[in-house]
Amino acid sequence: MAVKPIPELEPAAASPAEAASSLLEPTTPLETTTPHIERPAKVAGGVPAVISSTRYMLRETRLGVGLKVLANINQREGFDCPSCAWPDPEHRSVVEFCENGARAVLDEATKKRVDPEFFARHSVSELLARSDQWLNAQGRITHPMLLDPEDDHYRPVSWDDAFALIAEELQALDSPDQAAFYTSGRTSNEAAFLYQLFARHFGTNNLPDCSNMCHESSGRGMSEVIGVGKGTVRLEDFAKADLIVCIGQNPGTNHPRMLSTLREAKLGGATIMAINPLREAGLLAFQHPQKLADLAGGVSLADLYLQVKIGGDIALLKAIMKLVLEAGAEDRAFIDKHTDGYDAFVADLKQHSLESLIAETGLSDEQVRIAARVISNSKGMIVCWAMGLTQHQHAVGNIQEVVNLLLLRGMFGKPGAGACPVRGHSNVQGDRTMGIIERPPAWTRAMGDRFGFESPSQHGLDVVGTIQGMRDGAVRVFFALGGNFLSATPDTELTAWALRRCSLTAHVSTKLNRAHLVTGRRALVLPCLGRTEKDGAGFVSVEDSMSAVHASYGKIDAASDSLLSEPSIVARLARATLGPTSQVDWEGLAQNYDNIRQLISETIPGFQEFNQRIRDPRGFYLPNTARTLDFKALGGLAKFTRIPVPRIELQPDQLVLMTIRSHDQFNTTVYDLNDRYRGIHGHRHVLLMNRADIESRGLAVGGKVLITSHFRGEKRRAAGFTVAEYDIPRGCAAAYFPEANSLVPLDQYAEKSRTPASKSVVISVTPEGSANVSPTAPSGIRLSQPGA
């Protein structure tokens, strides 16, 4: 395997002519047999990001459409970027998007089409053998499609017949709880509200959503200790903070627009601390493509980079807090006035020795002491996090330990300070606000009373519960409003088997994905308008990571005349299922989204005068009680908590695996086969390991291995992975999802939040071709029958 000599910083194009030449050769990639590995980049953004975005535009769209799409991303009269939930700045540039955002909207605006002729040419069996990247690259789905029992080809179906078929299946159930209604965070507020209204009118709270797999732990953890499950900062707070801690997140790949905010904060004098097992380019430095001064090398970001062992965050935070107390840096005035449980918290902290805590982190004593000193001296600290904290069995404890640190330092209720869970999908937070949750909000009872039905009060099923229900035969109909359920969820082969036990699976989608190919007895694919496309019923709205709600206006023509909007699909399904006796004016709600917003304003706290406020180009903020130190929901005081130190027990040959995204993907959507920032090209079945771990196991860089995960005596295997050396702590490993999701046990999830523990999977690694191990193709879902 060739390794190119790489300069200290990721190189830009040698000249404009060379850059232009590279843009004229857009191609659709194919996965190579082995990856080409280079030295990881030390800076994110810059000219390479511009070139990558432009190449993708030329490959996917017509030039005029592509330019129009890019000109309208995140603009006041444009559409909200679907690739992340980072808030928009008050003063926006003409180019207000990142590389990943550009790919997301260009992917939606693609000129390629998956039409009935495509499905006639390609059988389901054939499509199952294709990669996720290939499936997505085929283009936009143009017509509703039906897969009948015993058939291997989807065929066109009318919208009326599709809704009648779903209604027939739902009405035939013995109980409404035999249906599950999943949704993705790209769904608008208006569609999400209608969706939960329909599900509860039908009689179930089975509303699993993508938040169950990402930030559920944040919501549960914060709600218990500060009374609100959302972040407590606004974008302007980053300019006022003197310390920003990024823990368990990789903004360069997962939410690149955050890099501009970090850059401005750093130039304004803030200190940035990164806590992450992997060294990531987006935490080291950033070249803003629109800032000429950056092109010489960019702005250095992390002043202190702590490569904590996977699962060592709680131990690190406890060690830091012990040192904060030793320094007398606790904010006693804040603690005495606004918190409860402090004495018990301190007593518990004293039970742990500093030496044992630091040993659990994999860091040096000096590193931890420097971090504690920086935190002790801060006047305004924001702590940001993402799935690196939320996808562990102890994930809720991770979040509450972060809150303990913020409470200890008095970092709530003042400018430049607070908690910042960084969401991924653009409206995953808004969906939850709209009632997409298996635990019904209090306002749903009044909603039911208004429309003459009894809204169910019992808790429904989350994602893990839905898979378990399908597996056990308790869930018979699965309906997904967006997303790629099969590839996004854990324990892939078991999930595939569970989906095949359903009588019907139906997916509202824009692009082809693997969930359309592993189906129930009958299956439907229902194509919908994308965020970028014009909708005759009006604009929609979204809520970002910081509780700001704003409008989103589609700007380009629909990919097909046969597409319906998500609200229209939900409304027509509701009418077909519930019949004329339903008192909800489903047709009127779908014809004019102002009608939906009026209903939201009358139902959900914080949305008074929704239609008037959403027309303000700046949008509006929802109430956030923790931001104003209003802890009435908790009896008036925020809560310190006592969190045990988790220990992942490993045998001598075992490692802890975390799943990660590549730079060329958004969640399960794989745009290309490269991970430019990590230096990996052409291949996704890669296992990142520390060199000492590679050598101690007799493995070779570039060698093929079998990965086995271990959980409660169960073993799950994934073959065909290539070993790559990476800067990661000993005892730790990383691999891309969805390829590695088959290793994540369904029953290994976070306490309380039930988020799959995709960041703490115990594995062993064996060379392929060794005794008792046969070489196999890269693992993936190619199952032809249940149990295969």
Give tens-digit pLDDT for 345-387.
999 999 999 999 999 999 999 999 999 999 999 999 999 999 9
- Token duo for residue 720: 């065909």
> Does 155 have pLDDT greater than 70?
yes
Residues 124 and 784: their CA atoms lie apart, in Å, by 10
Q: Average of pLDDT values for 183-206?
A: 96
Query: Distances from the Cα of 382 to the Cαs of 217, 282, 422, 526, 687, in angstroms?
Result: 19, 18, 12, 42, 33
pLDDT tens track for 642-651:
999 998 989 9
pLDDT of the residue at 48: 82
Residue 788: pLDDT band (50, 70, 90) is: very low
Residues 693 and 108: their CA atoms lie apart, in Å, by 41
Residues 527 and 529: their CA atoms lie apart, in Å, by 7
> Does 776 have pLDDT greater than 80?
no
> Does 576 have pLDDT greater than 70?
yes
Tell which residue, 593, 585, 622, has the closest CA to residue 450.
585
Task: State how beta strands 381-385 and 243-247 pair.
Answer: parallel
- Indicate the range of 419-433, 505-519, 546-560 predicted with least confidence: 419-433
- Token duo for residue 634: 């908790």
Listed in sequence order, the residues at least 6 apart from 672 whose beta carbon sits closer than 8 Å to its beta carbon are: 29, 56, 133, 664
Q: Average of pLDDT values for 687-694?
A: 97
Place of tokens 């769904």: 187
pLDDT of the residue at 168: 98
What's the chain's average pLDDT? 90
- Token duo for residue 730: 């000993």
Tell which residue, 31, 286, 215, has the closest CA to residue 133.
31
> Does 21 have pLDDT greater than 60?
no
> Does 632 have pLDDT greater than 90?
yes
Tell which residue, 622, 620, 597, has the closest CA to residue 610.
597
Residues 175 and 196: their CA atoms lie apart, in Å, by 17
Residue 267: pLDDT band (50, 70, 90) is: very high
Q: Average of pLDDT values for 220-240?
A: 96
As a whole-number percent, the residues of the chain with pLDDT over 90 amount to 75
> Does 774 have pLDDT greater than 90?
no
- Indicate the range of 297-301, 440-444, 561-565 predicted with least confidence: 297-301
Query: Distances from the Cα of 308 to the Cαs of 220, 329, 363, 658, in angstroms?
Result: 24, 24, 6, 13
Residue 286: pLDDT band (50, 70, 90) is: confident
- Indicate the range of 178-182, 342-346, 352-356, 546-550 predicted with least confidence: 546-550
Listed in sequence order, the residues at least 6 apart from 636 whose beta carbon sits closer than 8 Å to its beta carbon are: none
Residue 770: pLDDT band (50, 70, 90) is: low
- Indicate the range of 28-42, 293-307, 420-434 predicted with least confidence: 28-42
Residues 214 and 357: their CA atoms lie apart, in Å, by 27
pLDDT of the residue at 772: 47
> Does 310 have pLDDT greater than 80?
yes
SS3 385: strand
Helical axes 395-408 vs 313-326, angle rounded to 10°: 20
Residues 768 and 778: their CA atoms lie apart, in Å, by 11
Residue 17: pLDDT band (50, 70, 90) is: very low
Residue 29: pLDDT band (50, 70, 90) is: low
What structural domains and CATH numbers belong to the chain? Answer: 1-43+649-788 (2.40.40.20), 119-212+427-615 (3.40.50.740), 216-421 (3.40.228.10)
Residue 2: pLDDT band (50, 70, 90) is: very low
> Does 787 have pLDDT greater than 50?
no
**Report field, pTM of the whole predicted structure over 0.85:** yes
Q: Average of pLDDT values for 211-230?
A: 95
DSSP 644: P
Residue 57: pLDDT band (50, 70, 90) is: confident
pLDDT of the residue at 77: 86
pLDDT of the residue at 75: 82
Which residues sit opposite 304 in a β-bridge? 273
Q: Average of pLDDT values for 80-94?
A: 77
pLDDT of the residue at 30: 62
Listed in sequence order, the residues at least 6 apart from 396 whose beta carbon sits closer than 8 Å to its beta carbon are: 217, 220, 221, 224, 750, 751, 752, 753
